[in-house]
A and B are shown apart, each in its own frame.
Chain A
Amino acid sequence: MAPLLTTSESSRESLLFSMRAVGAAVIVGMLTLLLVGRLVHLQIFKHQHFTTLSENNRVKIVPIAPTRGLIFDRRGEILAQNLPAYSLEVVPEAVEDIDALIAELRGIIEITGGDEEAYFAALARKRRFERVPLRLRLEDREVARFSVNRHRFPGVDVGARLIRNYPLGELGIHLVGYVGRINKRELDRIDRADYRGTSHIGKTGVEASYEDWLHGTVGYQRVEANAQGRILRVLERHDPVPGRNLFLTMDARLQRTAEAALGDENGAIVALEPMTGAVLAMVSSPGADPNLFAGGIDVETYRALQRSPDRPLFNRAVNGQYPPGSTIKPFVGLAGLERGIDHARGTSWCPGWFRLPGRKHRYRDWKKYGHGRVGLRDAIVQSCDVYFYELALAMGIDRMYEYLSSFGFGERTGIRLGGESRGLAPSRAWKRNARDEPWFPGETLITGIGQGYVLTTPLQLASATAAIATRGVRLRPRVVDRAVDPVSGDIERFEPETIAPIRLIESSNWERIIEAMTGVVHGQRGTARKINDGLAYRLAGKTGTAQVFTVRQNEEYDARKLDKKLHDHGLFIAFAPVERPRIAVAVVVENGGSGSGAAAPLARTVIDAYLGDDTLPPAVVPGRPARSAAANDGSGPALAATVHPVPG
């Protein structure tokens, strides 16, 4: 035990130890101060910084998608709505053996291998407590069957989200448009914040051009989330503002009639209300079912639609550009009268052809042996080409251009329907700029009968026709009559918008042209006289037949020998009643043959339907129909319990 006892030796050791102990104490103190220094640095000097980081950790913003506005026709018939689509969803962390679960679920619900694959693919991108869809688009029967058996499947639930639905199917697809998944290009264009939580966006038609009105404003929840992202509680909720319900100017019944009239033909019909510019019907045939796009179209079907030679996704009414053919004659004739061209007040001898002085080329009339002596009225009624060759030549292309453009040819009408085509009203300046070529007199001739370079869209034709009907008042064609706020019920009207009117020096010229157009239908020799049978009102119109295929000088047009694709387009423009026009129509039947045979009867059908329908209100009835109120007040009662925000 010697080392334990104290000696003088050990008192020296004791001193040495004490010094070391003091040294250790000092080092301990210094190291502690180092720690304190670090903590002061973190907790005092960088406190603000770390507070921000900690807040960012904790609080997440979860978007709540707004309910898209509904679309109605002018009378309140639903064209586009939101329907719940049910899907079977699984919370991975609540399921022990997914394979066994799927096997058991298959007893009541059909789950394909593809569904299973999609589930495991989605699983990889989700967190363990997030719902992963196992089967999409459950049928009502399947939902019911699952609900009864729900207790057997913990961690499995039916989720609902709203998808766009077009109850009338193809009807008015080109006008109403459709929604589809937001693509990359659109993502760059839209305000991403506003579309968080929304997966679809308007692609065409009103759905696209009134996207701002229909979309609404995104809501959000500030939630407290833990490190795994699980939402623990909602700190703050800002409800989304649902999109506005839109009432179109279109009349679904008239649209239906027009579509039926066109039947299987390719072509377009546009019906306008002349005094307001309201689009009453807008048909482009063929169409397609917009529900395909809203529900997620498969690649095959989409390709087929895109590649179809009939181009069902192409809106012929605003994007189809056709030679107007003889339907241009009333406008050219009016220009001649107004410009005081002697020829417009005189007559022509029509032998069935016209030859420019000093040239050999014969410009033919559609009637082989000619119309004989005709004035302006007869030239319009019988659609004499020779008369208009001479008139065009006398007037010159530039004056003709001036009048054609004042009716809106070669210019966009400004309809709010996205990507409208301009058409073409040719002039010397245009040809010099576009083609760097001089203008030839022969081109003036054929422009006078609506051939050559001149191109119009059916909408332009209808709009120009409406301008004759109103005697020069022009209104911008419009498709939406009013927007109704689904929450407050506030109505916002889109007022008719006038554009530069056509003022004639001699206003009686309107009546001369209109009288001639009336003769087209009601006259003994009118080209559209076949449609006047039993007419209860007076109808003014003009036929047109546009060449697709140029017949050589020594040949004759024979429809039987030509491929249908090379047949003439049949056109007809009309308005009625002549005295107080309520409707103006343009019809184009692609490769339909003559305007009188293919197009005029369709115009009559449409106008009959519109004027003969006593239930049609003269103007749009204000207020919102009962159906709209129930269907879109932000959260339908049936859905409120089951809809949860779908991220992405």
Chain B
Amino acid sequence: MEPRVAVSERMRLDLPLLFGVLVLSAFGLVALYSAGGRDTDLVVRQAIRLAIGFGFMCAIAQVAPRRFFSWAPSLYLAGVLLLCAVPVLGETAQGAQRWLRVGPIRFQPSEFVKLTVPLMVAWYLSRGDLPPRFWRIVLGGCLTLLPVALVIRQPDLGTALLVAASGAFVLFLAGTGWRYIVALAASAAACVPLLWHFMHDYQRRRVLTLLDPQQDPLGAGYHIIQATIAIGSGGMHGKGWFNGTQSQLDFLPERSTDFVFAVIAEEFGLLGILVLLSAYLFIVYRGLYIAVQAQSTFGKLLAGALVLTFFIYVFVNIGMVSGILPVVGLPLPLVSYGGTSMVTLMAGFGIVMSLHTHRVPILR
């Protein structure tokens, strides 16, 4: 074996994927330094988080895929139980109850569920023939919707959306017939009024604000208006690092977390954004390639669903910041400041790498 291959093989890491993640993380740190007002501490804290994330990724990449397979049901059950424990034992922050504290460690069970749902659905579907039959689709759907319902109750619309998407992607990749997909989409559309009914006021306002931000320019519409001004005024080349007036002068809210994309768009312009999108697209396509290369149905479904969920992160965040989707509290993956979702994302990449690096050479 070549020495170069030997290193990554021994580390169980996929070099292209690792490269993409590193590039994005670096890009994120650069943007954060400016968005945070040259706050070195902020960058260092984010770097530490990234390092912890990388640790998780490397650790999980060492786990053999068959372990994921065999642990899937128990992990899923643990996730659901933790979610059930949140309303009873959880801590409340910013009007939502999402956190569980175990000793010194505080975590969101909903993050954990983002991984266990695709694991479980992929486990379930891969045990039968593909494409899955009607009842298996229904059961797969139920496996997804149970934790989704629990997350919605917290309430955490953004995470619920991602969890639902991760389950749905498994079903889609498993070859669920188009008529089922259409029927599912139709019933989802039918659920919209029902969903509206269950939404909190602030969630409804976000949707209304998207339709007409000017209606409430200082309230809910302020975020969107200032973000679009930041993006639009960035132009082709951007105003330059540290020179984004919208972000540096505080007009842009949450500029190092959910709205960091607007800072990048303002300071680095369309060109910077294209670089960022290319990096994301590269990671997603590499992930899909790994999924296609995976040697088991379980691995294919899991890897595909994980990278597609990653893409949903990107799409929803940028769509929200640029004003074509409602404001859903989702960070820009690997770039936004914040730790919880980062670890989950890195763990996901760890699983994908594990699937790719544990392949058994096929002898024909």
Binding site for B on A (CB under 8 A): 1, 3-6, 9-10, 13-14, 16-18, 20-21, 24-25, 28-29, 31-32, 34-36, 38-40, 42-44, 46-47, 49-51, 53-55, 57-58, 224-228, 232
Contact = CB atoms under 8 A, between A and B. Distances in A.
Interface in B240-297: 245-246, 249-251, 265, 269-270, 273-274, 277, 280-281, 284-285, 288, 291-292, 295-297
A32 B277 contact: yes
Nearest to B222: A227
A449 to B, nearest CB: 74
Sort chain B's interface into a size bin.
35 or more
B117 interface: no
Given A4-B295, A47-B235, A54 B229 contact: yes
Q: Which of B127, B233, B323 is most buried by chain A, counting CB atoms within 10 A of its CB?
A: B233
24 contacts: A1-B66, A4-B298, A5-B296, A13-B297, A17-B173, A17-B291, A17-B300, A18-B292, A20-B172, A28-B281, A28-B288, A38-B319, A38-B324, A39-B270, A44-B235, A44-B236, A46-B232, A51-B233, A54-B246, A57-B249, A58-B246, A58-B251, A226-B249, A232-B249
Nearest to B297: A13
A21 B170 CA distance: 11
Interface of B: 65-66, 69, 126-127, 129-131, 169, 172-175, 226, 228-236, 245-246, 249-251, 265, 269-270, 273-274, 277, 280-281, 284-285, 288, 291-292, 295-301, 304, 308, 311, 315, 318-319, 322-324, 362
A10 B126 CA distance: 10
B301 A4 contact: no
A227 B265 contact: no
A10 B362 CA distance: 14
Instruction: Among B169, B265, B297, find the residue whose CB has the most chain A CB atoms closer than 10 A.
Output: B297
A42 B322 contact: yes
Given A4-B69, A13-B130, A57 B304 contact: no
Contacts of A17: 130, 173-175, 291-292, 297, 300-301, 304
A225 B66 contact: no
A222 B246 CA distance: 17
Contact of A35 (B172, B308, B319): B319
Contacts of A24: 169, 172-173, 288, 304, 308
A43 B295 contact: no
A55 B244 CA distance: 11
Given A4-B298, A50-B229, A43 B175 contact: no
Contacts of A36: 274, 277
Given A6-B362, A57-B246, A32 B281 contact: yes
Contacts of A14: 297, 300
A465 to B, nearest CB: 67
Contacts of A58: 245-246, 249, 251
Contacts of B231: 39, 42-43, 50
A18 B274 CA distance: 27
Given A3-B296, A6-B362, A36-B277, A43 B270 contact: yes
Contacts of B228: 42, 50
Contacts of A6: 295, 362
B233 A53 contact: yes
B245 A57 contact: yes
A464 B66 CA distance: 119
Contacts of B173: 17, 20-21, 24
Contact of B233 (A3, A5, A29, A54): A54
Given A16-B175, A21-B304, A25-B285, A47 B297 contact: no
A21 B284 CA distance: 11
B127 A47 contact: no
**Could you tell me the dominant secondary structure of chain A's interface residues?**
helix
A43 B269 contact: yes
Most chain B CB within a 10 A radius of its CB, from A4, A55, A228, A232: A4
A613 B299 CA distance: 114
Task: Report the 6 A-B pairs with minimum CB-CB distance, sorted nearest first.
Answer: A50-B232, A54-B233, A227-B250, A226-B249, A4-B296, A42-B232
Contacts of A39: 231, 265, 270, 273, 322
Contacts of B308: 24, 28
Contacts of B296: 3-5
Contact of A25 (B172, B175, B245, B288): B288
A57 B230 CA distance: 11
Contacts of B318: 35
Given A20-B174, A39-B322, A43-B235, 8 more contacts: A16-B175, A20-B175, A25-B288, A32-B281, A38-B322, A43-B265, A47-B233, A224-B245
Contacts of A1: 66
Contacts of A49: 232
A53 B229 contact: yes
B236 A54 contact: no
A16 B300 CA distance: 11
A227 B251 contact: yes
A3 B297 contact: yes
B236 to A, nearest CB: 6
B233 A50 contact: yes
Contacts of A13: 129-130, 175, 297
A56 to B, nearest CB: 9
Contacts of B131: 16
B79 to A, nearest CB: 22
Contacts of A21: 173, 288, 291-292, 300, 304
A28 B278 CA distance: 12
Contacts of B269: 43
A43 B234 CA distance: 6
Nearest to A23: B172
A50 B270 CA distance: 14
Contacts of A40: 270
Contacts of B301: 17
Nearest to A3: B126
B315 A43 contact: no
Nearest to A40: B270
A486 B173 CA distance: 84
B280 to A, nearest CB: 8
B270 A57 contact: no
A567 to B, nearest CB: 67
Given A17-B300, A54-B233, A224-B249, A44 B270 contact: yes
Contacts of B230: 54
Contacts of B126: 3
